[in-house]
Amino acid sequence: MSFDSECIFCKIVAGEISSIQVYENSNTLAFMDINPIAYGHTLIIPKHHWQNLYEVPDDQLAHVLATAKRVATAISKALAPDGVSLVQANGKGAAQSELHFHMHIIPRTLGDDLKINWKLNPGNPDEIRSAAQRIIRVLR
């Protein structure tokens, strides 16, 4: 298992730091966020250390998403929120708070006014096409 001795999430996986765990399997761990933005805010992490989405192998990413689905379903049944947001950030510009890949499951209520939503503003079709073309060139 890859481990970063400075990473708080690796220390949680290793049992060096306590957490309020809600689910664990051989690949992932789900535990409550100690700085929740909503009641039931939960984190899903892979047990191996990868800093961000770009580093996580696809098969391990699938394990994280499967755990996120399982835990989000449990949150929905247990806490009956109006909805659930899955949030995952990569890098300082996206406000990634810990450099260990993780996904937030955030129970939502209508009118909660959490700032992870954005207003729908029509984009410039030429700029949208230009961005798409640049992305497609890299994907080829």
Note the pLDDT tens digit of each residue in 47-97. 999 999 999 999 999 999 999 999 999 999 999 999 999 999 999 999 898
Asked if the structure places residue 14 within a domain, the reply is yes
**pLDDT of residue 101 exceeding 80:** yes
Overall number of domains in the chain = 1
Asked if the structure places residue 23 within a domain, the reply is yes
Residues noted as catalytic: 102
Asked if the structure places residue 3 within a domain, the reply is no
Pairing of strands 83-87, 42-46: unpaired
> By residue range, what is the domain housing residue 32?
8-139
Asked if the structure places residue 113 within a domain, the reply is yes
Total-model pTM: 0.89
8 Å CB contact between 17 and 45: no
Asked if the structure places residue 2 within a domain, the reply is no
Asked if the structure places residue 1 within a domain, the reply is no
What is the Cα 66 distance to its own chain's centre?
12
pLDDT given at position 118: 65
Residues 6+ apart with CB under 8 A from 122: none
Which amino acid, one-letter code, is at 68?
A: A
pLDDT given at position 78: 96
What's phi and psi for 46, nearest 5 deg? -75, 150
Q: Kindly indicate the confidence band of residue 128, based on its pLDDT and cuts at 50, 70 and 90.
A: confident
**CATH number of the domain bearing residue 87:** 3.30.428.10
